[in-house]
Amino acid sequence: MREDLKRAFEQARLLHNKVCELKANLRNGNSLIRLTGPGLCGQKGVALSFTANLIMNSTNNNNSMTRRDALKKTILFSTSLLAVGQFGRLQAREAVTGFPDKGIHLLAIGDFGSGNVNQAIVAGQMAKFAKKLGTPLSGVLALGDNFYKQLTLERFAVHFEEMYSKEHLDCPFYACLGNHDYGPKYDSGQGRDKAQMQLDYAKDNPASRWKLPAKWYALELPDAKNPLVKIIFLDGNSIEGALTPQEKLDQQRFLEAELKIETRAPWTWMVSHYPMFSESTERGDNLRVIGQWGGHLKSHPISLYIAGHDHALQHLEVEGYKTSFVVSGAGGAGLYALKESTRGFAKMIYGFTHIHVTRDKVDLQFIDAKGNCLHSFSRTPDGKVEIASSSGS
């Protein structure tokens, strides 16, 4: 992460500790704390906000962010650091459901196919949130590991059709395939047949919300005539028994061709099961995926890279990339431990991500299984990222 942003995060943490020391002097939650520091202040005794202008030296490397790009990517942080308790006991606010601009609404969820109570709780909260929106969802991004263990046709009914309420989640679930969807030995041992079952179910049941037209594909939403976003879905699996060498070559050719196709959509995203960057203590950054697709993010205007695989909620901003990285793998499978992030937000908690898209802005909320918004940020087409709220990592 950029050194100046690291220092800004460290200043925020130090000031948060100072707020905790001073909390005994607060008479009520509306008291105002003023703390000295460059661009830093605390409001209502509970929040710290700061602005970090990211300035980088320009280089001759075309794959690096230019000074102009870095200046565009000014990140405004407004972090909810409560003056009561530690980071792990931060108060979260209710997720926002009212938006002045119509746009489209999407949800993103990965690593959900456990069939356990945690999947049911998150699915229930997704339905409650969608109901409060008061407008139909345009889709759900299903980020892989859609079904753990043995997959049978009956599970599509129980763990998908019935699990995700059609009353309030009556929209397409655009899926990609994760490692467990290929049924490796540590899963069901079904191999490629398990992935093919998911492809066949989508083909044989066109009326179903389950959409998986191919292992890799692209679509424009809400439609190709007047698109707001183009989404490229990729299969990042490298495990034995997943993609064949020819499929890997075909997918690479598809991606290169798709990125050359002009779109009227102001936003282009990439979606895959595997994250490039993660604060997971078990896995961390995925050098294989970075090497495979990272160059495309640097050379094309990809605003979001959305993934699952690591069972947590994360939003990271990484040095050298204009893309915002989102991990939404907290749909029901056992959670992963995380290290403290200096690159953004990371939380070991069940939940999902909400994305509101207009031509002028994209708003994202990371929502837990109780309906609380833990972190939210927005992006503008020129690359400006503004953190509206955060409960920290």
Domain ranges of the chain: 3-89, 100-372
Which DSSP helix (H) or strand (E) runs through 76?
A: strand 75-80
What is the number of H-type helices and E-type strands within the chain? Answer: 7, 19
DSSP E strands: which ranges in 194-278? 210-211, 217-221, 229-233, 267-271
pLDDT of residue 392: 65
User: What's the CA gap between 362 and 368, in Å, rounded?
Assistant: 20
pLDDT band at 16 (very low <50, low <70, confident <90, very high): very low
In the predicted structure, residue 5 carries a pLDDT above the cut 90: no
Rg of the chain on CA atoms, in Å: 21
Residues across the chain: 393
User: What's the CA gap between 330 and 328, in Å, rounded?
Assistant: 6
Concatenating the DSSP letter of every residue in 300-325 gives TT--EEEE-SSSSEEEEE-TT--SEE
pLDDT of residue 13: 52
Question: For residue 283, what are its two tokens?
Answer: 């896995």
Give the lowest-confidence range in 20-29, 78-87, 275-284, 372-381.
78-87
Amino acid at 162: E
Average pLDDT, stretch 333-357?
A: 96
Q: For residue range 274-292, list pLDDT tens digits in order.
A: 999 999 998 999 999 999 9
Query: In terms of DSSP bridges, do strands 75-80 and 93-94 run parallel, antiparallel, or are they unpaired?
Result: unpaired
pLDDT of residue 37: 34
In the predicted structure, residue 95 carries a pLDDT above the cut 60: yes
pLDDT band at 389 (very low <50, low <70, confident <90, very high): confident
Local structure of 17: helix, strand or coil:
helix
In the predicted structure, residue 354 carries a pLDDT above the cut 60: yes
Is residue 142 within 8 Å of residue 202, measured between CB atoms?
no
Q: For residue range 207-236, list pLDDT tens digits in order.
A: 999 999 999 999 999 999 999 999 999 999
For the chain, what is the mean pLDDT? 83
pLDDT of residue 391: 75
Phi, psi dihedrals of residue 316, rounded to the nearest 5°: -125, 140
Number of Cβ atoms within 10 Å of the Cβ of 281: 12
Q: Angle 241-242-243 (CA atoms, 0-180°, nearest 5)?
A: 120
Is residue 274 within 8 Å of residue 233, measured between CB atoms?
no
Of the chain, the percentage scoring pLDDT greater than 70 comes to 76
Local structure of 8: helix, strand or coil:
helix
Q: Is the peptide bond before 38 cis (omega within 30 degrees of 0)?
A: no
pLDDT of residue 7: 54
In the predicted structure, residue 266 carries a pLDDT above the cut 60: yes
Give the domain 100-372 fold.
Purple Acid Phosphatase; chain A, domain 2 (3.60.21)
